[in-house]
Structure 1
C-alpha cells in the first residue's frame, strides 16, 4: 500500500550524493538538512559499506518538539528505509545529560523490491563538554509484514578543533535485514564554511561482513 507513495523518495535517495538523530532538540523554527554518501569504495565493499546515499531533515516545531525525515539505501540499493519521526526531550533543559525519545513510522525496502511498513522507536542520550560532545542513539524497528524487530546503535564523539574544523567519530552496530550483525566506524573532519553550510569528509570502515571501506562526503545545512 505504501509502495506508490514512497517509491519516488527511494529513487531520490539513490540519486543523492548518514543518521543525525540526537538528544538535543532543534531550536524552534530551525531546519537542519544533511545529505551525502560514499564517493569511492575500497576492497570488496558491498556489506555493510557501499555507496549508501542518505538524507536527513530536522525541523524545530516548538522549543521541545522536533520533527524530521530520515532515509538511506544500502547493499547496492537492495535495502533501505524512509521514516518520518517526532522527538521529545525527557531531561530538564539545565541537565548536562540530555535524554530524548523519538517515535516514527515509514517503510523498509526489502531485497525483493517490496516495501514493508515499519514503525520505529528511539532513545537518545547526549552530553556536551569543553569543545565537544558525546552521544548515543539507539533505534528499534519492527517490520509488520515479517514480524521481525531490528536494532541499531550509533555512538558519536565530536570535538571542535577551532572555529573552522570539527572532528567527528561515529561507530555503528546493528542487525541487518537477514539477521546478520554489522559493525562499522567512520572517523571524519567537518569543515564549517559559515554558520549555514558545513562539509563532512571521512572514511567509513566495515568491521564485519566483507570489511570493505569507503570515502564519504556529506553536506550539513542549517537555516
Structure 2
C-alpha cells in the first residue's frame, strides 16, 4: 500500500495546496468549526479503563478576503499526531458552473516544535443531492525536510430539514510511521435557528491505526 499511496499523495499534495476546500468563500463570509475526538483501542483486551486513550480538539476557520482568496486557520492535530497551528491562503484554479472545482492553498505554521510549510490541493464535485471532495496536503518540516502526507475523500448527502450524512475515508503517510487508513461516518443536524450545525460521528482504523472512537463538532457559516 505504501508504494501506491505515497506517490499519489506526493503528486496531489505538492501541486500547491488547499485545506479550505474546492469551493471558494464569497468576500466577507466565513466558516467556523470546532470539535473533539475521543478514541479507544479496538481490541477490548487492551482496555485498562473506560477513559479514552486518545483525545484531541480542533478549531478551524475560513474567511473570504475576496471572492477568490480565502484566509484560514487550522488548529488541532497533524498527520503525525503532534499539535498544530497553521495559517493558510486558498484560491481557486478551476471554478466553472459545471464540472469539478479545483483549488490550491499554501500554509505556514507550527507542528509540535517544528516550523512547517503546508501545500495542498482540493478537488470537489457537486452531486444532485450532495457533493464529493478530495483534499490532499503535505506537511513539510523546514529544518529537516521530513514530510507527512495526507489525503481525505469525503462523500456528503443533503437530507430533509437541512440534515446531512457524511462518509470520509482518511489516509496518510507520516514520515516516521506506517501509512494509515481510517473510516469516519458522521451525521449533521441543525441546532436551533441560528445556523449552527452539530456533527456526531465515529472513527475506525482500517490499517495502520488500531483505534476506534467518536467525534463531536459544531459548524457555523457567517
Structure 1 pair 54/157, CA: closer, same or farther in 2 (3 Å)? same
Residue 177 of structure 1 deviates from its aligned partner by 4.6
Matched, 1:58 2:62: yes
Deviation digits for residues 97-137 of structure 1 (CA, Å, limit 9, x no counterpart): 1001100101111xxxxx11100111110011111000000
Distance 2:182 2:190 in 1: 25
Question: Which residue in 2 is equivalent to 1:151?
Answer: 149
Structure 1 pair 74/68, CA: closer, same or farther in 2 (3 Å)? closer
Structure 1 pair 141/73, CA: closer, same or farther in 2 (3 Å)? closer
Question: Which residue in 2 is equivalent to 1:100?
Answer: 103
Question: Which residue in 2 is equivalent to 1:82?
Answer: 85
Matched, 1:178 2:176: yes
Structure 1 pair 141/87, CA: closer, same or farther in 2 (3 Å)? same
Distance 2:209 2:139 in 1: 25
Tell me the SS of whatever aligns to 1:53. strand
Question: Which residue in 2 is equivalent to 1:8?
Answer: none
Give the one of 122, 125, 128 matched to 1:124.
122
Distance 1:167 1:191 in 2: 9
Distance 1:199 1:69 in 2: 20
Gaps of 5+ in 2: 1-17, 47-52
Question: Which residue in 1 is equivalent to 2:201?
Answer: 202
Gaps of 5+ in 1: 1-18, 110-114
Give the one of 188, 191, 205 matched to 1:190.
188
Question: Which residue in 1 is equivalent to 2:15?
Answer: none
Question: Which residue in 2 is equivalent to 1:68?
Answer: 72
TM-score by length of 2: 0.81
Question: Which residue in 1 is equivalent to 2:33?
Answer: 34
Residue 150 of structure 1 deviates from its aligned partner by 1.7
Structure 1 pair 58/132, CA: closer, same or farther in 2 (3 Å)? same
- The count of residues paired between Structure 1 and Structure 2 equals 197
Residue 92 of structure 1 deviates from its aligned partner by 3.2
Question: Which residue in 1 is equivalent to 2:213?
Answer: 214
Question: Which residue in 2 is equivalent to 1:13?
Answer: none
